[in-house]
Structure 1
Amino acid sequence: MRTSYLFTSESVSEGHPDKVSDQISDAIVDLMLSKDAESRVACETMTTTQRVILSGEIRCAPMYDANNAAWAENGGWAPGAKEEIEQAVRRTVREIGYEQSGFHWKTLTFENHLHGQSSEIAQGVDANGNKDEGAGDQGIMFGFACDETPDLMPATLDYSHKILERLAADRKNGKAPFLEPDAKSQLSLRYENGKPVACTAIVVSTQHAKGYHEGEKEAELKAYVKGVVAEILPEGWVSDETEWHINPTGAFEIGGPDGDAGLTGRKIIVDTYGGAAPHGGGAFSGKDPTKVDRSAAYITRYLAKNIVAAGLARRCTIQLSYAIGVSKPLSIYVDTHGTGSEGVTDEALEDAIRNIEKLGGLTPRGIRMHLGLNKPIYRKSAAYGHFGRQADGEYFPWERTDLIEDLKAALR
């Protein structure tokens, strides 16, 4: 493994059109789970100028039942259900901050094309007789952790997220009223002996109020961004040699879905590890936790983070694989990239993971029960990364480090 190199990751704000779509999709997941903890949801969102379109499949008896004769005239929807979905969509857009002529929470056109879940998918997932609940799809999922930051995340991504979080907070609290919701960041860091030591290039593009691309207003915006970056990055990382690109194309007044269409699931590298670790290819947002694209990616992060937090490795990648309708994972893979502590092999860690009973055999149900995933906790995860966040009550349970003693005991 190379120890001296440059590496780059990017992040996008909650107002980026793809992230608007992710947050809407997860607002629908949360709505359904608030009605029925066993809901099945696969909700895709498209956003464009003054329009939001939902499509996908659901199973949530209090909201939708195609066989309910009393709801037939309403297309299988419970009274008020379609209106409640629309309210959730508009509320999400409003909370992000879009009140622009090209995309406004109150006046946008909304279309709902959600329909019932396929019975053929349901028969594979549902528990039945002696059959345990199966995975909602086939696939491979990766989790990762490293000791580059206190959040045990790649520094390039962790700090890219934090820069945009600060911009959003200052936009909403009035400290930076010239900012609008759409923004992107990107950091290039120099690594020496495997550790980040300096920032060689910074890119921040932020949507702004009219006129903040020239003259004194442009200077104010750029000075503000540089001040935020200086506060976020560790001391000494920014120097005279750092290359800056703030709104490098010039004016950025047209943004969000008015500037570019957004789709659920197009920012999977931003959502995970910024390219520092493999990705199985499946998106998270819009999916209930029976979909292992989501729940298995969460448990692999949880496992990798606990291994690093326990001091068993400085860097850890974990892969799980599943078949649709089958409960147990087909494979478990651990790679500590040569950073494992003395006497702890990757094979031993794989065996330890298999033998920790509270993980429920890493079946979809076992994962959900251990992490408490059948709850409306997902919209918060849909911007600024699903990983590297602070576990807070029911939110981000995959970021807990409460498996350390179990791992150590399983290795004895």
Structure 2
Amino acid sequence: MDKIFQAAVIGAGPAGASATLYLARQGVRVALIDQAIFPRDKACGDGIPFKTVRLLEELGISRDALFANGKQISRMQLFGPRGTLLEFTDQTGAGGKNGCIPRKHFDNLLFEKAAQSCTGLFQGHRLIDLQKRSDHYDLIVKDKNSGRKVTVQARLIIGADGGNSRVARLTNLLPRDAAHHFDGLRGYYLGENFGDAIRIFYDPRVLPGYVWIFPVADNMANVGIMTRRKKEKQPGWLQDLFYEVLNTNSLLRPFLQSAQPVGPLRGAPMPLGTLKGSRTGDGVMLIGDAAGFIHPVTGGGIYWAILSAKKAAQVAAQALSRNDVSQASLREYERWWRRTIQPGFKYSARLLGLLSDQKNAGRIFPLAAKYQPVANLFGALYGKQLPRLVWLNPFFWKAVLLSRQ
């Protein structure tokens, strides 16, 4: 196999597979590298918003293929810390529903397309090291089965290798900060009909995060927890908290009364979109979770993963055509995410601050039940990027101030 490429994508999840497809469409010779053998499981809530479905159609994945192993969703229920219920029905029409699809199936759909499009495929190969040369990078990857090391050469690297990105560490990009991290954990449960609603529980012990029940089939649900990373906690603290909430939250328990766990729990780090730092370097770009493109309130990241892959591939292809992959040549990607992604994350972080305080969190949900502008805030968060105007709406802040009296 040829080991000299124009670009190398590290990580074959949604971000990496999408970047590979977009690069290949622009005629770039691209290597796709991942330490796993696909199909593989992945810790996630499995939620797929309708705007992601539209992006996937650009990549040749139809709704029918997408939901063959998943569940279309028509309702969302949010349970506040004091038990207040907010319910939202799907407003996107029958052709644009949100959905829940196990990542093992979802990721494999994208991976199979990317594997057919890339110039070189290295699955089951782990990135060990990378060395910068005058006009390219040498990537040292190790076959996990044979232990054999292979050197892959590429002019440009796209890091799509998740929240613990090795590319970010080896290139000293985007240092991780516990203050801007959540930790997530999920398992699958078999039970009676879980319906077509996703359910989110803002338990006081988990704030500013939440516990979720997302149906992936009529009789199976993804059940998980995400919350702020806590340095002082002992190993296993998140699993202990997860089971504690499942066993004692009176709002949640009825939905899992006859359910039984299937398979192991899986966890993952969640670097939030509030992380400060550059997502580009000389010949290097970060996308998806590796770039910290995870929503500070919802924990969602798949839409941003594919969207950032699309833009990164466009900028990378242009830079390669100019024979200049310096950080300055990749500046358009940096400008794009700061203009397109960062504003919504910044304003969402303000709500995260409110949810971090148990008293404030307890007030917000009754307000949302009473004032439609506040309810729309949650609807916007879970349906699309939070618009700046929400925070400029005087009725929202009037409602917040009234709640504090």
Per the normalisation by structure 1, the TM-score is: 0.23
Kindly indicate which of the two structures has a greater share of residues assigned to strand: 2
Return the TM-score normalized by structure 2: 0.24
Larger Rg: 1
- The structure with higher relative contact order (CA 8 Å, sep 6+) is 1
